[in-house]
Amino acid sequence: MSLEPTARVEASVSVSADVLLAELRDQRADALAFFQGVDESQQPLFAAEAWSIGLRALRNAQAAAEETRLKDIGGSLVADLDSQLKDHVEAQQKEIASVLGRFFDPKDGEVAQRLSSFLADEGVLARLLEKYLAPQNSILAEALARQVGESSPLFRKLSPTESDGLVKVLEGQLRGVMDDGHQELVRALDPLAEDGAVARFLRSLREELKGADEDRAKQLATALAALDANDENSLLSRLVRETHHARRDVLEAVNPERPGSPLEVLKTSLTKLLQEQSTNQAAMARKQEDRQIEFEKEVREALARIETKRAQGMKSTRGGFDFEDAVLAFLKAATQGAACVLDSTGSTTGVGRCKKGDAVLRFTAESAFEGAGVVFEAKRDASYTVQKAIDELDAARKNRDAVAGVFVMAKSHATDSFPSFARYGNNVLVTWDDQDSATDTYLHAAVMLGMALVSRNKTVGEEGDIAALRDIESRIEAELSRLDKMEKLSGGIRKNADGIGDEIRKGRKALGLLVRKAQSTLRALKVEIDDEVAESESPISLPDDSLAHASSALPPEGEEEAA
């Protein structure tokens, strides 16, 4: 293959499987002047060096161009993600405002409607009050009916129709007392009753009149004496006394303060029954109050335990483990169904013999990025700054052989200077709160960005050549170490040995140049080339419902605390 002359320079190139043949014709005056001033034996060496330097410069320029292109793509990707994230956040805020308005609007909000339905005349509160406190068919009415209603013992005791009720008993007692008193009064006034007061009065009067021997005047005096109310021994006075005694007996029988009277017995029984009922009601009220106090105490203790557990979880090491588990659950749900596998690696060592890197997301054979990985670090530690987080991710990427890394910081422990969402090269920093679903979009975007930073790499050169060059590098470094030792030993030789030291320094300089060239060759053989065609055929993506699945994988607020 040959090229047209450009600026008086002609070149032809022939490439085979194992050799590259290049022929160059340069007619420029400066090139001719340079090579004419060089010894003829040195001209091929200068030409080879110029070819190597030019070829290396072209490779470096190509690599720089690729890196610049990747930076531009990364910048545009970050800008697009930032724009989409802002649009999503604005849409979410509008949706939240709409939902809150739908719930809390004072006119037609669901909360207002529920409060109205709860407090309305026919609402839930009214129905509950009617159920428990209504005068008919309520729980209170039923309880009062059981205690003092028609079927209660107290009502039966006070019922006027019950045969064993207090009214009937009192009526029977009063009827007995009144009957006894009435019969005594009737018998006392009955002139036919032999033991009655009137009968005795008439009999005595008849005897006295008969003994008066028909003396009218004496009979009249005797009659007047018998009817003399001032004479305590007269028949009329005895009749008044006996009548008074009978009335007093009736009054004492109906007096509730007199011991042994029927009304006193009724009063005592009724008072005792009411006192027992009052005592029972007071005991039931005290028991209910004790149960209420105990229930409130248990509720306060449970709330205190929940709050204490939350506070300890915020401060203790175990809280970090809980946060790490929440991050892993989110990642597992978010990447489910994608062409990648998530492994929890926090308890295992990596290639660097350490445990840095809590989880690794690695692409499977279904993706063009097979084998490429993204490492995740979850921290709940306020001591982490941005630089410390980046250093932690760099170490984790090296330990887990990952191309990109995502550092997830708990929002409760993040400092003011820690970014909510930021990219530093192949490292992504994000702040997330497992109790706030509004921050789920940030973590989801960080997962997408970490996956997007992965590139499809392949190595140019055989492993045997690379291993051989590494062996050459190690041998040259060993020789350099030996020359350093010789240089130190030559310091004790006399001044006439300065030439030896100069030669040693020259050899050391030449070997250093050789080492640098070998290292450049080694890096050149491991140039990473992006295969855009394969990448475009296998786009990096997550399922459409990835964010919803990730958010639902976390327990609702309060459930974890209760657990």
Report the 3 state secondary structure along 23-41: EEEECCHHHHHHHHCCCCC
382 pLDDT exceeds 50? yes
Question: Residue 136: left if φ>0, alpha if ψ -120 to 50, beta else—which one?
Answer: beta
Residue 167 CB contacts under 8 Å (≥ 6 apart), including other chains: 158, 159, 160
Asked if the model's pLDDT at residue 40 lies above 50, the reply is: yes
pLDDT value of residue 97 = 76
Q: What is the 3-state secondary structure (H, E, C) of 69-93?
A: HHHHHHHHHHHHHHHHHHHHHHHHH
Q: Check pLDDT > 80 for residue 171.
A: no
82-86, 256-260, 393-397, 472-476: the lowest-pLDDT one: 472-476
What pLDDT does residue 345 have?
87
270, pLDDT greater than 90: no
Whole-model pTM above 0.85? no
- The more confidently predicted of residues 132 and 47 is 47
Asked whether the predicted pLDDT for residue 26 surpasses 70, the reply is: yes
Read out DSSP for 308-365? HHHHHHHHSHHHHHHHHHHHHHHHHHHSTTSSEEEEE-TTS--TTSS---SEEEEE-T
284 band by pLDDT with thresholds 50, 70 and 90: confident
Assign 148 a pLDDT band (cuts: 50, 70, 90).
Answer: low
DSSP H helix total and E strand total for the chain = 19, 9
Q: Can you list the positions of beta strands (E) in 380-462?
A: 404-410, 421-424, 427-432
Quick: pLDDT tens for 322-354: 788 899 999 999 998 888 999 998 888 887 778
Stretch 533-544: mean pLDDT:
60
pLDDT above 70: residue 311:
no
Cα–Cα distance list, 296 to 289, 291, 303, 387, 563 (Å): 11, 9, 11, 50, 20
- Cα–Cα distance, 78 to 394 (Å, whole number): 20
What is d(CA 368, CA 458) in angstroms, rounded to the nearest whole number?
11
- Confidence tier at 430 by pLDDT (50, 70, 90): very high
Architecture of domain 318-458+542-562: 3-Layer(aba) Sandwich (3.40)
Contact assessment for residue 437 and residue 92, using Cβ atoms and an 8 Å cutoff: no
Most confident of 58-62, 249-253, 313-317, 431-435: 431-435
Per-domain residue ranges of the chain: 2-83, 150-254, 318-458+542-562, 463-527
Q: What is the mean pLDDT of the chain?
A: 75
Please choose, from the candidates 372, 359, 373, the residue with its C-alpha nearest in 3D space to the C-alpha of residue 328. Answer: 359
pLDDT reading at 203 higher than 90: no
Q: Residue 449 belongs to what H/E stretch?
A: helix 440-452
What is the share, in percent, of the chain residues with pLDDT greater than 90? 12
pLDDT the model gives residue 529: 42
